[in-house]
Amino acid sequence: MYHFFYQKILHLLTVKAPATGIGLFRILYGLVTLQEIIFLYYFNHLIFDPIPYIDVEFPSIPVFLGLWGIVALCLTVGYRYQWAVSANYIFWLVFVNFTSMQRDFDGGFDTFMIGMGFFLLFMPGNRAFSLDNLRYKLCNPFVHYSHYPSATVSVLAYHIPIIIGLGWLYFDSDVHKLFAEHWRNGLGSWLPATHPYYVSALDMSPLLNIEWLEKTIGYTIMLFQATFMFFYARRRLRIVYLLVGIGLHLGITLTLNIYPFGIGMLACYVLLVPFSWWRKLSAWFQSSHPALRVYYDKQCPLCNRTVLIINHFDIFHCIDFKPAQDHAHENPALVGIGMDTLMADLYAVDNDNKVYRGLATYRQILLNMRYLAPFGVLLGLPGIKQLAEAKYRAIADNRIRINCNETCAVEPPLPDNTLYYRLFEQFGLQKPKTFSHKLTKILIALAILQLNSTLHYAVFYRLPLEYGRIPVSQPVSQASNALLMVSSTFFGITPHALYLHDHFKHYDRILAITYITSDGAEHWLPFVNEQGRLLTPNWGRIHSMWANIAVTPTINNVRLKKFIMKVTAFWGVQTGIDLENVKFIIKMKKINVSPEWDFDRLHKNFASEWINIGAAAWHNRQISYEIPEDINSL
C-alpha cells in the first residue's frame, strides 16, 4: 500500500495543470470567510457577551474581527498570499477554539474551514487571479505581459485537498449514516427538511412531497459519499461526481438554513472541474479579437506599469497594448503622426480605425473592458471630464523617460516565498523521490488520524460494547480522544455525524419567544416565527445555538435559560424594546419527526398549535424565569 501511494505521488508531482481552479478556490474560500466575519460582527454581542449589551466581557472583539476581515480580503484578492493565508488560519484557530464559538455557537463548518485553510497554506493560491502576480510583473515593468506564460501547478495541489477535504469527510459521514434509520429508509435528506427549525425561507414542499424522488436523493447521497474518494479522479466519472456534488450542496444551501456549510463545500468543487474546461471557458469568455489597440511609450516606466496593471484586470482580453516605437507604423490610422507626438500621449485605435488620444484613450479602455464600462461613462461626464483631463496632463507632461534596452528586463524579480514553491518546486522537483517518500508518510499519518476519528465515533461509539470489560479499553479510548483533539483543532478532522437518528429521535417539541408590551399586545420576537422557522439572519451558528444546544430532544433547563437570556437581551436591544417594560412568553408546540414517510409533513409541522409554557422578564438588568422544571414531560 505504501509503495502504491509513493508511486502515485511521484508520478503526479511532475504532471502540470492550470492554476485557474486553485485561484478561484482561494477567492471563494476568502469570500466565505468574509461573509462569516460580517456575520460574527453583526451578532458580536449575542455570541461573545455573557449578557448581550449588558455584560460586555470582550469589547475588543470587533477590532480583531476587523483585522481578520483585512486578512480575509487580502486572501481573497491574493495580496501577500502566504502571509494572508497563514494569518487567516491562525484567526480561525483562535476564534473557533478560544471563544464561545467552540461550545455554544458551532457554525457546523468551522472545522472544515480550518482544514481547508490548512491545505491552502501549501497550495499555490497566488498563481492565478492574484495581486501577487501583478506585483511580480511590476518588478519587471519593461517585460511585456505577453512574455509571461500561463501559470501551471502540480496536479497534487488539486488532488490532496479533494481527497482529504472532501473524500475522507464524505466517507466518514457515510459510515455514520449507516447507523441512522431515516438514512437507511432513504429519507436522510427529507427528514431535516421537514423540521421547522432547519428549513430555509424557500418552501420546498413540492419536491419533499414526492416520496420516490426524496428516497432516490437519499440513497444517491449515500452512494455518492461512499464512493467519491475512490472514483472521482477517473476521467469518465469526474463530471458525474462534480455535478452530483454541486447538486447536493446547492440543495443544502437552498433547502436548509445552514447555508455557510453549503457554500463552503460548494467552493471546493472548483477544484474538481476538469482542466480542459478552464481552457474552454477562457476561450469562450475572452474576446477573439481585441476591440482596442493602445500604443504606449516603451521607454516610460510609468507607461509600462500602467499597461501591466490594465492588462491584469482586462479579464476579457479586449485591449491589446503595443509599444509605439515598434508597432505604430504598422497601423494606417497612425500614419502621418510623428513619433514625438505619439510619445507625448497615449494613443488608441478601435476596430473602426478611429483614433483616440490622452484621456479619451483611458475612457475607451474602460468602456471596452466591459465590466468597467460604468466608470468610462462617468469619465465622460461634464465636470469629471475636465478634472480628469487636468490631472492626466499634469502626470503625462511630467513623466520620466529612460533610454531602455534589453537590460531593462533584468530587474530582480519578486521572490516567491510560498510554501508550495519551496516544498513542491524547489525541493520536490530537485529531489522527487525523497519528497515523495516524505509526502507519502505525512498523508498516511493524516489518514490514521481520520481513521481514528471514524472508528472511534462512527463505529465503536455506536456499537453496543461494554468497554469496562475490556482491560485496555480505557487507555486506548483516552489516547484516541487525545488524537481527536489534535486532529480536530489543527486539521479539521472531526466526526461528521450530521442530522442522524440520535439528533432527531424524540425531537418532537420546539420553542419560540414572544413578548407582551404595556398595552397588552403580543408580538413575535424576530427569532422564531409563527411557523416555527428560525428567521434570517438567525441562521448558521445562531441556528446551531438554538436548535442544537438550547432546544434538543432532551432539553436542559440550565442551557435553555442561558440562551433565552441571550436571545431576549440581544433582540430586545436590536428591535428597540424596553426590556424593563415587556414580558417574554415562552411557547412550545409538538411536531412530527418520525423516520417514516409522511405526505406534506413540513406544512403539518408549520400548522401545529403553540401553547404557552413559561415566561421571562427583565428587572434591573437581571432576568427571572417562570419555566417548568421538566419541560421534557410536557
- Give the residue, 532 or 417, on which the prediction is more confident: 532
DSSP string, 333-379: GGTT--HHHHHHS-EEEETT--EEETHHHHHHHHHHTSTTHHHHHHH
Spatial CA neighbour of 267 closest among 23, 504, 554: 23
Round to whole Å and give the CA distance between 588 and 496: 30
- Of 572, 590, 567, 570, give the one whose Cα is nearest residue 582: 572
The rounded percent of the chain whose pLDDT value lies above 70 is 95
C-alpha distances out from residue 189 to 107, 124, 171, 458, 591, Å: 19, 36, 17, 19, 18
- pLDDT at position 127 is 92
pLDDT of 415 higher than 80: no
pLDDT cut 90: percent of the chain above it: 64
Residue type at 588 in one-letter notation:
M
Listed range (124-133, 251-260, 465-474) with the worst mean pLDDT: 465-474
- SS3 of the chain: helix, strand, coil, percent, to 5: 60, 10, 30
pLDDT for 472: 46
What is the SS3 string spanning 388-399?
HHHHHHHHHCCC
Q: Which residues contact 293 (CB under 8 A, 6 or more apart)?
A: 319, 320, 322, 331, 348, 349, 350
Q: What does the pLDDT look like over 298-356, one tens digit per residue? A: 888 888 899 999 999 998 999 999 988 888 888 888 887 888 888 888 899 999 999 99
Domain map (residue ranges) of the chain: 1-19+150-247+431-500, 287-410, 505-633
CA distance 392 to 395: 5
Number of H helices, E strands in the chain: 29, 11
Q: Please state, in angstroms and rounded to a whole number, the distance separating the CA atoms of residues 590 and 543.
A: 19
Where helices occur in 494-621 by DSSP H, the ranges are 501-504, 541-544, 557-574, 601-607
Contact (Cβ atoms closer than 8 angstroms) between residue 306 and residue 365: no
* Residue 146 CB-half CA count within 13 A: 6
**Contact predicate 148/311, CB 8 Å:** no
Mean pLDDT, rounded, for 223-249: 94
Q: pLDDT: is 281 or 233 the higher one? A: 233
Other CB atoms within 10 A of residue 20 CB = 23
Task: Please check the confidence at residue 467 and state whether its pLDDT lies above 70.
Answer: no
With a cut of 60, say whether residue 364 has pLDDT above it: yes
Average pLDDT over residues 462-475: 55
**Whether residue 412 has pLDDT greater than 60:** no
Predicted pLDDT at 450? 87
Domain topology for 287-410: Glutaredoxin (3.40.30)
pLDDT in the model for residue 401: 76
- Using the predicted structure, report yes or no on whether residue 224 has a pLDDT greater than 80: yes
DSSP 51-73: BTTTB-S-TTHHHHHHHHHHHHH
Res 584 pLDDT > 70: yes
Taking Cα atoms as reference points, which of 92, 72, 158, 91 lies closest to residue 122?
A: 158
> Model's pTM, two decimal places?
0.92
414 has a pLDDT exceeding 70: no
The pLDDT, as a whole number, for residue 285 is 81
Decide if 349 contacts 334 (C-beta within 8 A): yes
Cβ–Cβ under 8 Å, residues 332 and 321: no
Q: Which of 198-212, 324-338, 399-413 reaches the highest mean pLDDT?
A: 198-212
- 106 and 541 Cβ atoms separated by less than 8 Å: yes
Confidence category of residue 466, pLDDT binned at 50, 70, 90:
low
What are 339's three cell numbers? Answer: 513619433
- What value does the CA radius of gyration of the chain take, rounded to a whole number of Å? 30
Mean pLDDT, residues 470-478 taken together: 59
Average pLDDT score over residue span 223-240: 94
Which residues are registered as beta bridge partners of 477?
none
Looking up cell 437519499 gives 218
CB 389 within 8 A of CB 359: yes
Q: What is the pLDDT of residues 590-613, one digit of tens each?
A: 999 998 999 999 999 999 999 999
What is the rounded average pLDDT of the residues 618-632? 90
Quote the mean pLDDT of the chain. 89
Residue 272 pLDDT more than 80? yes
Stretch 31-38: mean pLDDT, rounded? 96
What band does 464 get if pLDDT is binned at 50, 70 and 90?
Answer: low
Least confident of 63-72, 138-147, 175-184, 523-532: 138-147
